[in-house]
Amino acid sequence: GFSAADRTENIRRIGEVARLFADAGLLTIASFISPYRSDRALVRSLHEQAGLPFLEVFVDVPLAVAESRDPKGLYRKARAGEITGFTGIDDPYEPPADAELVLNTHELTVGESVHAIVEALVTRGWLPAAGETH
């Protein structure tokens, strides 16, 4: 669901699963809508408390652009009142204060965004550079 409690529980579960994968030595990339700073802070702390690396990537996009990219028509339904608690329409989005990487996807191509993520991982030593092995 779209309630704050549903979103918080969903993010907590995703964070726990990502932590399990990271704890097993896997580079884990998870993508999800996480509108509340407190939920993102919880996921960060799950990793940090376990001594695991964590990189928050803020995919920043104006609301109008996000709506234009909506293949399921969820924004239209939210604006029509058919869906409630929808992020950016009748529920807030709290932008991150401390994301390690910000991607302005209305200005970057998908390829440029992917390159920025890979570069952030390589710079931190979490992914080998092209031609290197771990």
Q: In angstroms, rounded to a whole number, what is the distance separating the alpha carbons of residues 77 and 83?
A: 6
Enumerate the domain spans of the chain: 4-123
Average pLDDT, the chain: 94
Q: Kindly report the number of other CB atoms within 10 A of residue 3's CB atom.
A: 11
Query: What pLDDT score does 132 carry?
Result: 76
Whether residue 2 is predicted with pLDDT greater than 90 in this model: the reply is no
- pLDDT tens string 57-89: 999 999 999 999 999 999 999 999 999 989 999
DSSP code string of 21-82: HHHTT-----------HHHHHHHHHHHHHTT-----EEEE--HHHHHHT-TT-HHHHHHTTS
pLDDT for 1 equals 65
C-beta atoms surrounding 4 within 10 Å: 15
Residue 104 burial (10 A CB sphere; 0-12, 13-18, 19+): middle
User: Quick one: DSSP state of residue 88?
Assistant: T
Residue 69: per-residue pLDDT = 95
Task: Please report the pLDDT score of residue 131 as a whole number.
Answer: 79
134 has a pLDDT exceeding 70: no
pLDDT reported for residue 130: 84
Do the Cβ atoms of 80 and 124 come closer than 8 Å?
no
Mean pLDDT of 124-129: 93
Pairing of strands 101-104, 57-60: parallel
pLDDT for res 57: 98
Distances (CA, A) of 77 to 27, 32, 90: 36, 20, 12
Pick the catalytic residue from 3, 31, 34, 68.
Answer: 34
CA dihedral 51, 58, 89, 33 (to 10 degrees): -40
The mean pLDDT value for 39-63 works out to 96
Thinking of the domain 4-123, which architecture would CATH place it in?
3-Layer(aba) Sandwich (3.40)
Tell me whether residue 34 is one of the annotated catalytic residues. Answer: yes
Give pTM, 2 decimals. 0.88
Minimum mean pLDDT range among 29-33, 43-47, 119-123: 29-33
